[in-house]
A and B are shown apart, each in its own frame.
Chain A
């Protein structure tokens, strides 16, 4: 048997041949979350690439985002990045066994998500006010509304679900029902939501900026 297999046997305390090995040395729920994240990343990639395709194939694409919108979206990016940092601190506190502090940081993280949603909805309603619908807009190709609302809507759904998810984990952690691994797994989800925004922000907002 190779030395690696020996090592795995030693770690798992069970023969490799009877399924005792843990090839990734992570809890199964963490591996499960990673697999979900990879599949969700492919979903977002498909939509972002479809958007980019339509964007490149259309001669005149609307550029409705003035400085105020760009600043709003930049603030949203800062909020989401900062909530990722509070999430890291929550995981850290949970790993150190400080449950109340972990729950506090989780609460700070989900408040970041709520603030992100509020700022995003403000942007949406501003666009609705300008006459943007899924099928039409005052500036040109009707695909703008469908792609913008579809992309940002799917992301906003992820943020909103994440807020509920973090609330459940925060309450469970404060009551001692969840382990630090559960906090870490919820953190993976939250960082992924943050990561997706790192692509939506430049592709949707910065490439459609109307400045000067």
Chain B
């Protein structure tokens, strides 16, 4: 929205708030307006996290093959991390632009970190017999 040129002819860079009402309106923009998350949701998420932890410990006692273990445990951990981010860290209830700014970049960088990972099995699998 273009406000036009002020009388003194220079382009205005910033406008100071005029009234107390306006200041209140501006600060309301950055105040968190949503209602607090219900206790029921909090405790449900907590029980889910505890339950998933128990499943992980149970898997450790099952002594599965390392690669199977790794896939199962990491899947469960990603589910747990998502629950923490979405509910405890409240990202689910924020404006979507915040998640879209933060998460794709994080996922991309972590994905790139895996670029050299296949090299880890090279020494074990490809060494001359």
Contact = CB atoms under 8 A, between A and B. Distances in A.
Give chain B's interface secondary structure class. helix
Contacts of B7: none
Contact of B1 (A16, A70, A181, A212): A16
A15 B2 CA distance: 8
B15 interface: yes
A3 interface: no
A181 B32 contact: yes
Interface in B1-26: 1-3, 12-15, 17, 22, 25-26
B30 A25 contact: yes
A98 B57 CA distance: 38
A91 B36 contact: yes
A52 B74 CA distance: 12
Nearest to B103: A38
Interface string B76-114: 110011001100111000110110011001100110011
Contacts of B89: 187-188, 191-192, 195
A195 B56 contact: no
Contacts of A206: 56-57, 59-60, 69, 73
A10 to B, nearest CB: 9
11 contacts: A16-B1, A74-B53, A82-B46, A92-B36, A191-B88, A198-B77, A206-B56, A207-B73, A209-B61, A211-B61, A212-B63
